[in-house]
């Protein structure tokens, strides 16, 4: 069996080697990885991340150990690719031993060697191929202000770069590049308890799914880590590093995105009844729009465009053209104006906006999203937002108006007022939620009573059926009598038959119309269902944006515990939604990333706060000593 696998592996890898010869960018394959448990991780680290090269004999040697220097290099390269670390360009040249300008051997200068960081190790001189990787990882860990320094993880007088790194050492170093865990995985590691020195570091990796231990639930910390295990950790760590970038709660999020909308007229225009000034305005607007994505206007098309659109807009403004909102918007965004000039134009724009009722939602969005860029009375902007809120019929737009208000409160530093508004919203939602629970409970009780009534009716019906069976014979006798009567009155019956047939036909037509009406009704119900489904998606999106924006506000105000509670409770709420399952991965990543970001910010704040206290204490001590 092993021979068969070896032959298959030889054929596969030989084919891939030929492909590698023909294609410079072809994937690398190894003889000894075929059917290995970590094959996917190894090939990903080799071909996707490109941090492994294997050996010259086309082997990877997955079950061999990896040295300290080698592991730190792949850890550093992974963090660099994710943007957490950056290798200096000068030291890239040292590693490659090539100078870009003359393609000659690169010599490090004395200035570079004077910057050698040894971490107290006696076997580092700054000229080693692994030196910069060790420095970058070591400095990153030491700057983390956690329980341990780089030297604590790899203790001793010497760094010993060629020494095999243990699973414990590799895991602890990796833990500094892993995001905070937000839940405890129900997995016990039997050879590590809470008294273990690096319990928290190992537990974090377990909770984040980066290490899983062996099948017997052991971790074996003192055992050397293999190359295959290293590739596995690195792949999982790479994706976990995404959460360290802090891209989930960076700003207030909006429901609608009009960024890609084409430029607009800011008002309603009847193209069948345009004045001369209307035509000039539209032509100037179209020219600005065209030039925003194309620099050149072909000669044969010049008559469609305005050679000096901004000048035309200024002339229209001076002549008293009515659309001040549109003119000012384009002068602000495309004219070369001072900040003061922009502020004045925007103030005039808002005053005109309040007087009008023909500005669309996406035009209003463009206007008010930019309100944070100008120094005008905030009361005037709030007045404009109130006017917009009254005009719109779109619930999603109303939510966006609320979010713009959030941003204005933040910009004007009215944080206490904003906090009060958000807390009132949360409290109101809790009241509504409680009322809905009461309604649902009452509905269940009514339904239960209805079911009991149905059972009672069925029992009554059964009793009636039993009673009817007794009267069967009487019914037969009555039927015979009826037949005799019908026979004796056959002539009158025949004459009445025609009337009956006519009535039947009318009845048939009525039934047909009823059936068609029922079909139409069912089709409408189906259509409404589809609309309701879309509506439910919109409602869910609005709900998620509300949760995230409130969490962002709490994070911004350094109320990290409140932000975490909002996110965790919100996540639990979203999980109960029927639509959650269809986009589970997207929602989970959003909430996990947001919670982790809050925890990271909280930790950084505590560290900085501690620094500030220590600095203040040192300053006071110096003053006391001088006195």
- Whole-angstrom Cα distance, residue 256 to residue 238? 32
- Whole-angstrom Cα distance, residue 529 to residue 514? 22
pLDDT per residue as tens digits for the range 82-135: 999 986 655 555 555 443 333 334 344 444 445 688 999 999 999 999 999 999
Alpha helices in 301-414 (DSSP H): 309-318, 324-334, 339-355, 361-369, 378-391, 395-411
Q: Which residue has the higher pLDDT, 497 or 593?
A: 593
Q: CB count, 10 Å around CB of 346?
A: 22
CB 67 within 8 A of CB 58: no
- Kindly state the average pLDDT of the residues 499-507: 48
Instruction: Choose from 25-34, 360-369, 504-513 the range with maximum mean pLDDT.
Output: 360-369
Question: Residue 443 pLDDT > 90, yes or no?
Answer: no
CB 350 within 8 A of CB 385: no
> Read out DSSP for 83-104?
TS----HHHHHHHHT--TTT-S
Q: Which residue has the higher pLDDT, 499 or 547?
A: 547
Q: Which residue has the higher pLDDT, 437 or 547?
A: 547
Question: Minimal CA–CA distance to 63: which of 302, 228, 199, 194?
Answer: 228
127-138 burial: b if 16+ Cβ within 10 Å, else e = ebebbbbbbbbb
- In this structure, of 16-25, 210-219, 267-276, 548-557, the range with the lowest mean pLDDT score is 16-25
Question: Residue 510 pLDDT > 70, yes or no?
Answer: no
CB 221 within 8 A of CB 193: no
Please give the DSSP secondary-structure letter assigned to residue 164: B
Question: Residue 546 pLDDT > 90, yes or no?
Answer: yes
Tokens representing 161 are 């770069």
pLDDT per residue as tens digits for the range 416-438: 999 999 999 999 988 988 888 88
pLDDT of residue 139: 95
- Whole-angstrom Cα distance, residue 140 to residue 133? 11
CB 194 within 8 A of CB 220: no
Q: CB count, 10 Å around CB of 509?
A: 10
Question: Which residues, 6 or more positions from 392, have their beta carbon under 8 angstroms from its beta carbon?
Answer: 361, 364, 398, 401
SS3 category, 569: helix
pLDDT of residue 178: 97
Q: Taking all residues of the chain, what is their mean pLDDT, rounded to a whole number?
A: 83
Distance in Å from the first CA to the final CA of the chain: 86
**What share of the chain has pLDDT > 70, as a percent?**
74
- Whole-angstrom Cα distance, residue 353 to residue 207? 54
Q: What is the pTM of this model?
A: 0.76
Distances (CA, A) of 178 to 68, 172, 280: 19, 10, 59
């Amino acid at each position: 069996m092993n021979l068969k696998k070896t032959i298959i592996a030889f054929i596969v890898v030989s084919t891939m080697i030929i492909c590698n010869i023909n294609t410079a960018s072809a994937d690398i394959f190894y003889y000894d990885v075929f059917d290995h448990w970590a094959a996917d991780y190894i090939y990903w680290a080799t071909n996707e991340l490109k941090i492994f090269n294997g050996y010259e004999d086309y082997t990877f040697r997955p079950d061999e150990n990896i040295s300290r220097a080698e592991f730190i290099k792949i850890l550093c390269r992974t963090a660099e690719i994710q943007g957490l670390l950056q290798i200096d360009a000068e030291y890239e040249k040292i590693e490659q031993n090539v100078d870009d300008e003359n393609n000659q051997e690169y010599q490090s200068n004395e200035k570079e060697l004077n910057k050698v960081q040894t971490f107290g190790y006696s076997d580092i001189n700054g000229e080693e191929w692994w030196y910069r990787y060790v420095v970058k990882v070591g400095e990153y860990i030491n700057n983390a202000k956690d329980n341990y320094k780089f030297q604590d993880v790899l203790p001793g007088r010497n760094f010993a770069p060629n020494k095999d790194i243990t699973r414990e050492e590799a895991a602890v170093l990796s833990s500094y590049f892993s995001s905070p865990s937000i839940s405890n995985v129900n997995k016990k590691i039997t050879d590590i308890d809470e008294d273990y020195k690096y319990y928290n570091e190992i537990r974090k990796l377990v909770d984040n799914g980066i290490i899983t231990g062996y099948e017997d639930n052991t971790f074996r910390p003192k055992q050397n880590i293999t190359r295959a295990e290293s590739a596995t950790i690195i792949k999982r760590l790479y994706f976990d590093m995404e959460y360290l970038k802090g891209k989930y709660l960076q700003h207030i999020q909006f429901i609608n995105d009009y960024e890609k909308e084409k430029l607009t007229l800011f008002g309603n225009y009847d193209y069948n009844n345009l004045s001369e000034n209307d035509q000039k305005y539209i032509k100037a607007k179209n020219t600005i729009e065209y030039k925003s994505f194309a620099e050149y206007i072909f000669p044969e098309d010049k008559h469609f465009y305005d050679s000096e659109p901004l000048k035309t807009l200024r002339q229209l403004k001076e002549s008293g053209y009515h659309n001040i909102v549109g003119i000012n918007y384009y002068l602000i965004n495309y004219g070369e104006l001072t900040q003061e000039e922009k502020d004045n134009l925007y103030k005039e724009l808002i005053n005109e906006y309040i007087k009008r009722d023909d500005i669309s939602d996406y035009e209003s969005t463009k206007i008010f999203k930019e309100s944070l860029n100008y120094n005008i009375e905030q009361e005037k902007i709030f007045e404009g937002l109130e006017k917009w809120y009254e005009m719109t019929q779109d619930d999603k737009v109303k939510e966006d108006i609320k979010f713009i208000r959030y941003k204005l409160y933040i910009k004007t530093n009215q944080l206490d007022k904003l906090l009060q508004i958000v807390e009132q919203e949360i409290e109101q939602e809790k009241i509504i939620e409680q009322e809905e629970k009461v309604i649902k409970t009452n509905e269940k009780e009514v339904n239960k009573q209805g079911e009991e009534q149905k059972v009672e009716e069925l029992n009554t019906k059964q009793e009636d059926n039993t009673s009817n069976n007794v009267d069967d014979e009487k019914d037969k006798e009555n039927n015979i009598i009826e037949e005799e009567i019908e026979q004796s009155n056959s002539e009158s019956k025949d004459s009445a038959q025609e009337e009956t047939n006519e009535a039947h036909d009318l009845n048939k037509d009525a039934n047909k119309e009823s059936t068609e009406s029922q079909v139409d009704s069912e089709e409408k119900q189906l259509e409404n269902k589809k609309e309701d489904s879309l509506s439910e998606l919109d409602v869910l999106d609005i709900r998620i944006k509300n949760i995230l924006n409130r969490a962002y506000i709490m994070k911004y105000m350094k109320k990290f515990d409140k932000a975490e509670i909002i996110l965790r409770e919100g996540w639990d709420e979203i999980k109960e939604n029927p639509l959650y399952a269809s986009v589970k991965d997207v929602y989970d990543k959003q909430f996990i990333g947001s919670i982790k970001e809050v925890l990271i910010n909280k930790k950084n704040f505590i560290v900085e706060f501690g620094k500030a206290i220590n600095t203040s204490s040192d300053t006071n001590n110096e003053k006391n000593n001088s006195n």
